[in-house]
Structure 1
Amino acid sequence: VRVALVGQSAGAATATSTPGRFARVAIAGFRIPTLEDDGAVQVLLRDPLLVVASEGDGVISLLPKATGSFGPSPGIKATVDALPVAVARFSTARQLFDEIVAVSEIEAQEIGATSQRRAEELRTAFIAYEQTASAQSPADPLPCHISFLSSRTNDAMVDVLSPLLPVARALSVPVLDFDVYARTRDSDAVAADLVPAVVAWLSRVM
């Protein structure tokens, strides 16, 4: 595999459904094209796969939701749980990065069987930011749907949309967590941990 597809939200579906051989990264959105179609599942799972999701995401939920702006959802966590393959799970991007470093150190010590097993386990990985599993406090909230995008883009969009957000909330118009991001402004903090982890993971599996 020499090419990676990295997508966020609807782009995550593109990353996981595009035909071909790729390393696939789905951020803030993951749905197997047709979970009932075993062929589609196997095509997806033959490639390295990293899924990133957050309990703080108010658009595409990590956990099951009976109702929401876009209807009921089984949640990304349940979708990952349904994959017919072992999944390496992490509660933060930093944990994934540290595991990759540990595998590299084991390889440097030429502990072949151990490093090979741990490296293979990383082929399908899942970062799930959860309040119960995270050391973060309510004062340091979990990433929202757009926290994974660049701060320059998000800040510009919030500046433009801020006057409209109260009206949108009053009318129950989905605002894709822009109202949440307007309070947290956490894109840079999220990227500081996530980008190195994704790059390190891609370096391992490609």
Structure 2
Amino acid sequence: MPIFADASPLVPETSAASETPTRLQQLRSSAGLLPKNCAVIFAHGYLGSRFDMLHLCERLASQGFVVAAPDFSEGLSGAVSELPRRDIVAELLAKLRRAWGAQQFGIVGHSAGGGTATVSPGPFACGRVAVAGLAPGYDDPDPLLVLASEGDGVVRLERVLQAIPSGTPCVEDPGNYDLSKKSGAVLLRRGLKDGHQAPCHISFLSAETNKAMISLLSPLLPVARVLEVPVLDFDTYLELQDSEEVAAATLPLIEDFFCTNAAKQ
């Protein structure tokens, strides 16, 4: 049963809210869901939105995680706060504890959200996942999963390689990732769609999100090219359109990563 906490109206400010965590735990127990009192935060990238990886959020929620997806100030979906990302994450952690009964946490982010996932104060015992973006200097004890692609024209693979902690095991095929290791990286160097290059920066977003962006932004692409406005690989994605293939290859790993760490708590 998907359980979302990405909007405050979902938890009314009444006495009924205090009963919500108990009801959620009863639902999880009766459904045989694995994570207990675990929540995952999704952090979108620059000019992104809380819906960017809705396919991942829904997948994690269906496994029993409470999933929280905030809007940050530089997003496109109507953020109402100018607070720094760090402050928003801290407030969200407090709310998840208070209103949803969460005791253990994970965090996943795309692009700039990958940086958010690696620098936000924890602990995040269920793990941190950085997709197409990673802040350098990570030395936190929390488990870390990094996903990056050689086809990313925004956050280059070389930049990610420089930021990955020394000694981190790296594989090129998500199916070869060793979940017995505390941390690791998947570096995609080949296309996941026949006849195409490795995934681009926004290939990791949901197909629904990218379809909406194609509808909205395609008419503006010629103008952006003339003005040399960065388009975050949108032009490359128009040729690739490989979100579904990327999701099929990577989402099961992210889910297993969080579930494996949650089971240890």
Q: TM-score, normalised by structure 1?
A: 0.71
Q: 1:103-148 CA distances to partner (integer Å, 9 max, x unpaired)?
A: xxxxxxxxxxxxxxxx2xx211101112xxx476882221100010
Match of 1:62 among 149, 157, 162: 157
Work out whether 1:8 is the aligned partner of 2:89: no
SS of residue in 1 equivalent to 2:146:
strand
For 1:106, the equivalent position in structure 2 comes to none
The one-letter code of the counterpart of 1:20 is G
For 1:93, the equivalent position in structure 2 comes to 174
Work out whether 1:185 is the aligned partner of 2:241: yes
SS of residue in 2 equivalent to 1:147:
helix
The one-letter code of the counterpart of 2:161 is K
SS of residue in 2 equivalent to 1:3:
strand
> What is the CA–CA distance in structure 1 between the aligned matches of 2:186 and 2:133, rounded to whole Å?
12
Q: What is the correspondence of 1:44-55 to structure 2 with a 5 Å cutoff?
A: 44=140, 46-55=141-150
Work out the percentage of aligned pairs sharing the same amino acid: 41
- Closer/same/farther in 2, CA of residues 135 and 53 from structure 1, 3 Å limit: closer
For 1:79, the equivalent position in structure 2 comes to 163
Match of 1:199 among 255, 258, 262: 255
Please list every run of 5 or more consecutive structure 2 residues that lacks an aligned counterpart in the other structure: 1-37, 39-103
> What is the CA–CA distance in structure 2 between the aligned matches of 1:12 and 1:162, rounded to whole Å?
26
CA offset at residue 95 of structure 1? 2.1
CA offset at residue 20 of structure 1? 1.3
For 2:25, the equivalent position in structure 1 comes to none
Match of 1:126 among 179, 185, 198: 185
Indicate if the aligned counterparts of 2:174 and 2:186 stay in contact, CA closer than 8 A: yes
CA offset at residue 167 of structure 1? 1.9
The one-letter code of the counterpart of 2:182 is R
For 2:85, the equivalent position in structure 1 comes to none
| Count of matched residue positions in the alignment of Structure 1 and Structure 2 | 158
> What is the CA–CA distance in structure 2 between the aligned matches of 1:173 and 1:24, rounded to whole Å?
31
The one-letter code of the counterpart of 1:89 is C
- Give the ranges of 4+ consecutive aligned residues of structure 1 lying more than 3 Å apart after TM superposition: 134-138
Q: What is the correspondence of 1:6-45 to structure 2 with a 5 Å cutoff?
A: 6-22=108-124, 23-32=127-136, 35=137, 41-42=138-139, 44=140
Please list every run of 5 or more consecutive structure 1 residues that lacks an aligned counterpart in the other structure: 36-40, 64-74, 101-118
Q: TM-score, normalised by structure 2?
A: 0.56
The one-letter code of the counterpart of 1:26 is A
SS of residue in 1 equivalent to 2:260:
helix
> What is the CA–CA distance in structure 1 between the aligned matches of 2:194 and 2:255, rounded to whole Å?
29
CA offset at residue 158 of structure 1? 1.1
CA offset at residue 183 of structure 1? 1.2
Q: What is the correspondence of 1:120-159 to structure 2 with a 5 Å cutoff?
A: 122-130=181-189, 134=190, 139-159=195-215
Ranked by relative contact order (alpha carbons within 8 Å, sequence separation 6 or more), the top structure is 1
> What is the CA–CA distance in structure 2 between the aligned matches of 1:27 and 1:20, rounded to whole Å?
18
CA offset at residue 87 of structure 1? 1.3
> What is the CA–CA distance in structure 2 between the aligned matches of 1:4 and 1:135, rounded to whole Å?
29
